[in-house]
């Protein structure tokens, strides 16, 4: 029996050492995780900074120090949308402004927004807006003309 007791003590000591080494090897688990609101706030800020760089969701997550799954969960809970949905929404806030208020060609608007291919930008815009960038621009021009010819707008 004494051998059994000594064996248990040495086994417990080895386990204690292994756990200590494992804890030292994983220092990241000791850091408190940011709250979901803080994650989303930081994510939105990073999107504003890097919208034209077209980062992947995993790149945003890495910059925030969280996993892509945690970023996705936090964003869905806080906004009801996916991280990619927020990025697309931000691009679609910027695109019509550039199309309507600048003399830039569609390919130049695509370049300003960070799209390497104007055709891809056109497909992206049409998928979300329902019309092509050219059709959107033409519709915006018609609306401007309708507003200018309205007699009620005259002094």
In 3D space, the residue among 31, 100, 92, 90 whose CA is nearest the CA of residue 66 turns out to be 31
The reported pTM is 0.70
- Mean pLDDT over 10-27 rounds to 74
Q: 53 CB contacts (<8 Å, ≥6 apart)?
A: 114
In 3D space, the residue among 77, 69, 129, 73 whose CA is nearest the CA of residue 99 turns out to be 129
Q: Report whether pLDDT(1) > 60.
A: no
- Distance of alpha carbon 113 from alpha carbon 80, whole angstroms: 25
Report pLDDT digits (tens) over 98-139.
Answer: 999 988 999 999 999 999 999 999 999 999 999 999 999 888
Q: Which residue has the higher pLDDT, 16 or 109?
A: 109
């Amino acid at each position: 029996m004494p051998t059994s007791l000594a064996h248990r003590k040495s086994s417990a000591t080895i386990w204690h050492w292994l756990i200590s080494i494992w804890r030292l090897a994983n220092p990241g688990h000791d850091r408190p995780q940011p709250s979901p609101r803080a994650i989303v706030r930081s994510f939105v800020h990073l999107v504003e900074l890097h919208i034209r760089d077209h980062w992947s969701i995993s790149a945003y997550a890495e910059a925030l120090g969280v996993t892509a799954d945690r970023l996705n969960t936090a964003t869905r809970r806080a906004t009801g949308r996916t991280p990619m949905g927020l990025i697309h929404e931000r691009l679609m806030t910027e695109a019509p402004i550039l199309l309507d208020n600048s003399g830039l060609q569609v390919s130049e608007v695509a370049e300003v927004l960070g799209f390497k291919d104007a055709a891809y930008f056109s497909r992206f815009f049409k998928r979300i807006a329902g019309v092509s960038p050219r059709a959107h621009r033409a519709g915006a021009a018609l609306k401007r003309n309708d507003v200018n010819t309205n007699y009620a707008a005259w002094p």
